[in-house]
Amino acid sequence: MQELTHYIDGTHIKGTSGRFANVMNPATGEIQGKVPLASKDELYNAVSVAAKAQPAWGAVNPQRRARVMMKFVDLLNRDMQKLAETLSREHGKTIPDAAGDVQRGLEVVEYCIGAPHLLKGEYTDSAGPGIDMYSMRQALGVTAGITPFNFPAMIPMWMFAPAIACGNAFILKPSERDPSVPLMLAELMEEAGLPKGILQVVNGDKEAVDAILENDLIQSIGFVGSTPIAEYIYANGCKNGKRVQCFGGAKNHMIIMPDADMDQAADALVGAGYGAAGERCMAISVAVPVGDETADRLIEKLIPRIEKLKVGPYTSGNDVDYGPVVTADAKKNIERLVQTGIDQGAQLLVDGRNFSLQGYEDGFFVGPHLFDHATKDMDIYTQEIFGPVLTQVRAKTYEEAIGLAMDHEYGNGTAIFTRDGDTARDFANRINIGMVGINVPIPVPLAYHTFGGWKKSVFGDLNQHGPDAFKFYTRTKTVTARWPSGIKEGEEFSIPVME
C-alpha cells in the first residue's frame, strides 16, 4: 500500500499528525494507499516556508516567471499519459476524460504565459501641474486553494498557475480522495524552474481548512466544492480579513425548443449528463423540453442512446463511456436520491440501480438513470445529485422553461437548443445564470475568459481564470509623483485638481 506525503519546501514530507485517510480504487473498491491529514502545526509550517520564499519570487520580473510557465506546459505535455493514468486510478474517470482534465488546466497555464502583459499597470502623464500618476499590480504574498476531487488536475492549475504567475506563493490543499496528481504537479513546477517553497501541497481535512482560514499570513483563498462548505469558507475567510472566492453547487438546465435538432439535442444531453459519471459542476442534470410533443420526441431519442452507454473501469481504454463514482458513499447517495425520485412520483424510464460489472462487483459503479415527468418540488430536481442521473421536467411554454432555470437557487451553467436566433438571444440576455450555452451543452469558457456562476453557485466578486484571476491574485497600488524641480519656495503641495 502506497503512503502519500505532503510536499513542503521542495521535499516530500511524511505526515506527523498520526491521522490518515484511505485512497481508494473506485473501480475495485480496494484501498490502494493512505494520505496524511495535516495538523494545524503542519499547515502553519508550510505557510512559514512559503512566506520566506515569496519575496524573492515576487521580485522576479514577470517575463522570467512566464518562462517557468512555458516550461511547465512542455512538461505537462510530456507526462500527459502518466498524469491521466494516475488520475484515473484514484478518481475512476476514463483516461481520455482524465487527459481532458489535465488539458483544460494546461490551457490556463498557457494563458498565464501572458503575465507580462496582464500585469501591466496604467500611466497618466501630467495629471496635474508637473504631476504624473501611475498604478501597478503587485502580488498579495501567500495565497491558498482548497480544491475538489472531481478535477484533481484542472482546478488546482486554475488556481496556482495565475497566483504564481502574479508573484505569489501558493498553498494547495487538494482533495484527500485523489491527492497523487496534485503532488505530481508540484514536482513538475519545480522541474520547470519554480523555486522551492513557492508551491506547497498540504493534504488534509477540515483541520487543515480551518488552519488556512485562521492563518494571518495567508492573504487569499480559493475554493471549489459544495455550497454549504463554500458558504462556510467564504464567511470565515472574509471575517478573518482575507480575499476569498468560493464556487459551490449547481443544477444546470438545458432547454430544448420544439424547433431544435432532436438528434443533436439528445447526443448533447447524453454527453453532458452522463460523461464523467455526472461528477462535474457543469454537467447537465435537468432537461426542459418545451411542449409534450417535444418531450416525447426527445425521450424517444434519449432512451436507446442511454441504454447503449458502456460503463467500466478506466483500464478498458476508449471502450467505456464513463467509470465509477468516486466513493461508496457517493454511490449510496445517488441511489438514495433515485429512490426518493420514485417515491415522490417521477417516472424512472432507465433504471441503473442494479448495474453490476463482472470482476468489479465491489467497485463504485452506478448505471445511467433517466427520469421523466419530474416536478420542481422533487428532491431530484432541487438537489445536486452529482451522478449519472438525468431528470426531464416538461414545460408548456418557453416562459415556463426559462422560469425554471431562473427560479432555481443555483446559477452555474445553462443551455438552450434551438434554431431560432431571436429565442437564443433573448435567452442569453435574460437568464440569471453565469455561463450560457447556445446549442452547446457544457458552456465552460476557454482560459482567456472567466469561469463562474451566479446565485448560490458562487460567493465572491471575481471569477476563476482569465483576466479576473490576475485581479484576484494582485492588489493595485497607485502612485502620484511630483518632482521638486522648478517649485517655488513655500509652495504648498495639494491633491491634483482637474482644470
Q: What is the pLDDT of residues 94-114, one digit of tens each?
A: 999 999 999 999 999 999 999
Tell me the CATH class for 252-438: alpha beta
Short-list 233, 253, 228, CA closest to 245: 233
- Which residue blocks in 344-397 are alpha helix, DSSP H? 379-382
Mean pLDDT of 66-92: 98
Q: What is the pLDDT of residues 2-51, one digit of tens each?
A: 999 999 999 999 999 999 999 999 999 999 999 999 999 999 999 999 99
Question: Which of 112, 166, 246, 281 is labelled catalytic?
Answer: 281
Q: What is the pLDDT of residues 341-370, one digit of tens each?
A: 999 999 999 999 989 899 999 999 999 999
**What single DSSP character describes residue 131?**
E
Cβ pair 374, 348 in contact under 8 A:
no
Which residue spans of the chain are classified as CATH 3.40.309.10?
Answer: 252-438
pLDDT band at 459 (very low <50, low <70, confident <90, very high): very high
Q: Rounded distance, CA 169 to CA 397, Å?
A: 52
Q: Rounded distance, CA 467 to CA 68, Å?
A: 20
pLDDT band at 125 (very low <50, low <70, confident <90, very high): very high
Q: Identify any residues that bridge with 287 across adjacent strands, giving them in sequence order.
A: 254, 392
pLDDT band at 65 (very low <50, low <70, confident <90, very high): very high
Q: Is 333's pLDDT higher than 90?
A: yes
What's the pLDDT score for residue 284? Answer: 96
Short-list 95, 61, 70, CA closest to 323: 95
Active site residue 281: yes
Per-residue b or e along 136-174, where b marks 16 or more CB atoms closer than 10 Å to that residue's CB? ebebbbbbbbbbbbbbbbbbbbbbbbbbbbbbbbbbbbb
- 3-class DSSP state for residue 365? coil
pLDDT band at 492 (very low <50, low <70, confident <90, very high): low
What's the pLDDT score for residue 495? Answer: 60
Model confidence pTM above 0.75: yes
Short-list 57, 36, 125, 93, CA closest to 317: 93
Cβ pair 244, 232 in contact under 8 A:
no
Mean pLDDT of 117-144: 93
The arrangement of secondary structure in 2-248+457-479, i.e. its CATH architecture, is 3-Layer(aba) Sandwich (3.40)
Instruction: Give the rounded percent of residues in the chain with a pLDDT score beyond 90.
Output: 93
**C-beta neighbour count of 429 within 10 angstroms:** 8
Q: Is 496's pLDDT higher than 60?
A: no
pLDDT band at 78 (very low <50, low <70, confident <90, very high): very high
Which residue spans of the chain are classified as CATH 3.40.605.10?
Answer: 2-248+457-479
Sheet of 199-201, strand order: 11-13, 6-8, 199-201, 169-173, 142-146, 218-224, 243-247, 458-459
Short-list 19, 48, 23, CA closest to 33: 23
